[in-house]
Structure 1
Amino acid sequence: MADKPSSLRSRVIAAARDLAATGLSPQMSGNVSARHGDTILITPSGIPYTELSPDDISEIAMDGEVLAGPHAPSSEWQMHAAIYEAFPEAGGIVHAHSGFATVLAVMKREIPPFHYMVAVAGGRNIRVADYATFGTAELAQNAVAALQGRRASLLAHHGQIAFGPTVEAALHLAHEVETLATQYFHALQLGEPDLLSDEEMALNVEKFRTYGRRP
C-alpha cells in the first residue's frame, strides 16, 4: 500500500533533519525529496530543517508546478525531477554538501574502485557530474548523465547526490558516499591506492543487488 502524503512528508523531514544532525550537509544546504505517484514531495527553499512540519513540504508536478505547500520548493527541484523522470526505480533522492565528497567534487576527482564498497552505488566508480550553476536545467541533465548505471554521483564544485527506492535508502547511500570519499581522501595522503579490477567490481555490483534481502 502506498504511503499517505502526510506519512511521506514526515519521512522527508526525518531524512532532512538527519542531514543537519549528522553534519552530512551543514546548516540548510542540501535537499531531500520523495516520489509520490506522479508528483514530488520536496523540502522547501530556505527553511531550517528543524522548523519543518509536514505541511511545509512542497508538492510539485514534474514540470515544477507547485501543487501544495506554503513555500517555494528547493532551488534544486529540476535536478530531482530529472532524476525521477530518468530513473523510474527512484523513490527518494538526497542531495548533500558533505565535506569529503565536496572536496573530491571540487577537484573533479571521481571515487575509483579503491574499495569494494564503491559498488554500493551501482558500478565500478562514483563519477563526477560536470559543473553547472545550481538550480538549473543544465545541472539536472549533467547529474542524470553521471548517474547512468549508478545510484550516486559527485557534482563538480558542489557536492553529491544519491537516490534509492525509498528516501531512507537514498539517505543511507549518501552517508556511504561520504564515508567512501573520506576513506579515499585519506588513502591519497599515502599515495595512489591500488584499484580493484573491473571483473571484481562487476562481481561486487551483482552481490549488492541482493545484499540485505531475506531469502
Structure 2
Amino acid sequence: MDIDDIRFRIAAARRMLYREGCDSTVGGHVSARAGAEDAFWVTGFEYFDQTTPDGVCRLGFDLEVREGEMDLSPAVGFHARIYETRPDVEAIVHLHSHFVSVLSSTGRPLGMYDVAAVLFHDDQALYADDGVKSHLAVVDALGAKRVVLMKNHGAIVASQSLEQATIEAIALEQSARRHLACEAAGGTEIAEAEVVAGKAAYQKHYLPQMWDANLARLERSDPDLFVGVLR
C-alpha cells in the first residue's frame, strides 16, 4: 500500500481529526467516493485514533459490503444518499465534536467570528431531528450546501476531496469554539466584505497546505499508521 491509497488517506484523516479535538467516540464517520462506482469507502464503529488502512471498507450505495469487513453503522446510509444526489461531493466527514455539538444545540449557524469561519460563509444548513422522519431527511436539509449542523448532534461536512473535507471539519470545530467564546464576550462578527475576500483566500492558500502539514505531524505522533506504507 502506498501513501496515496484511499484506505490510508481515510485512516490518516480520522487520526488528524482526533488530534485536532474532533473525536466523536465510535459514532463519527469519514468517507470518500469510490471513483466512478456506485460505492464509497468508509469505516465502521471505532474511535478515530484507532483507524488503520485495513479497517477501511468499500460499500455500495445499497450499503452492501463490496470489500473488507465492518460492523455497519446505520448512519452511513446518509453518506450513500449524499453521493447519489450530489455528484460534486467526493468526501464526507460526520462528526460529533464538542464545540460543534454545543453550537448545534442553539439551532443557529456558525457566525463569522474568526478568519477560518469564512470558509463556511453562505454554505451552511440547519437540521433538527423530530424523532419521526427518516434520518436520511438530513440529506434534504443539506441541499447544495457544504455543511449541515444537526441540532443537539453535530455536523456533516460534504466537500470536493477527502483532504478538504478533513481540514474543513477541523476548522469548523475550531471556529465553533471561537464563536461560543466571542458571543459570550460580547464580540462582533467580521465585516461582510472581509468575509467574502477571506473565503476565497482561505480556499486557495489555507486548505491545500493544511493536509500536508497535518500528515507530517502524524508521522511523529502516530508511527503505527505508517507501518508497511510506501512513500
Mark yes or no: TM-score above 0.5.
yes
Q: TM-score, normalised by structure 1?
A: 0.79
Question: Match for residue 142 of structure 1?
Answer: 138
SS of the equivalent of 2:72 reads: coil
Question: Match for residue 36 of structure 1?
Answer: 34
The alignment status of 1:86 with 2:85, answered yes or no, reads yes
Letter in 1 for 2:29: N
Deviation at 1:167, TM superposition (A): 1.4
Letter in 2 for 1:40: F
Structure-to-structure mapping, 1:14-93, within 5 angstroms: 14-37=12-35, 38=37, 39-44=39-44, 46-93=45-92
The alignment status of 1:119 with 2:118, answered yes or no, reads yes
Q: Give CA-to-partner distance per residue, 1:93-143, whole Å, 9 cap, x none.
A: 11111111100112212113344543313x33633222255xx98333324
Q: TM-score, normalised by structure 2?
A: 0.74
**Residue-pair matches, total:** 205
Question: Match for residue 151 of structure 1?
Answer: 146
The alignment status of 1:131 with 2:126, answered yes or no, reads no
Runs of 5+ in structure 2 lacking a partner? 209-231
Say whether the 8 Å CA contact 1:24–1:97 is kept in structure 2.
yes
Deviation at 1:200, TM superposition (A): 5.3
Q: Give CA-to-partner distance per residue, 1:46-78, whole Å, 9 cap, x none.
A: 234444443332211112122122223333211
Deviation at 1:29, TM superposition (A): 3.1
Give identity over the alignment, percent: 24
Say whether the 8 Å CA contact 2:13–2:166 is kept in structure 1.
yes
Say whether the 8 Å CA contact 1:31–1:42 is kept in structure 2.
yes
Structure with the higher fraction of residues in helix conformation: 2
Say whether the 8 Å CA contact 1:118–1:126 is kept in structure 2.
no
Deviation at 1:13, TM superposition (A): 1.2
Deviation at 1:80, TM superposition (A): 1.1
Distance 1:115 1:21, change over 3 A: closer
Distance 1:82 1:53, change over 3 A: same
Deviation at 1:144, TM superposition (A): 4.3
SS of the equivalent of 2:122 reads: coil
The alignment status of 1:162 with 2:157, answered yes or no, reads yes
Runs of 5+ in structure 1 lacking a partner? none
Query: What is the alpha-carbon distance in structure 2 between the residues aligned to residue 50 and residue 200 of structure 1?
Result: 36
Say whether the 8 Å CA contact 1:129–1:143 is kept in structure 2.
no
Deviation at 1:210, TM superposition (A): 4.0
Cα RMSD (Å): 3.0
Distance 1:26 1:206, change over 3 A: closer
Query: What is the alpha-carbon distance in structure 2 between the residues aligned to residue 131 and residue 192 of structure 1?
Result: 30
Deviation at 1:177, TM superposition (A): 0.6
Query: What is the alpha-carbon distance in structure 1 between the residues aligned to residue 186 and residue 114 of structure 2?
Result: 15
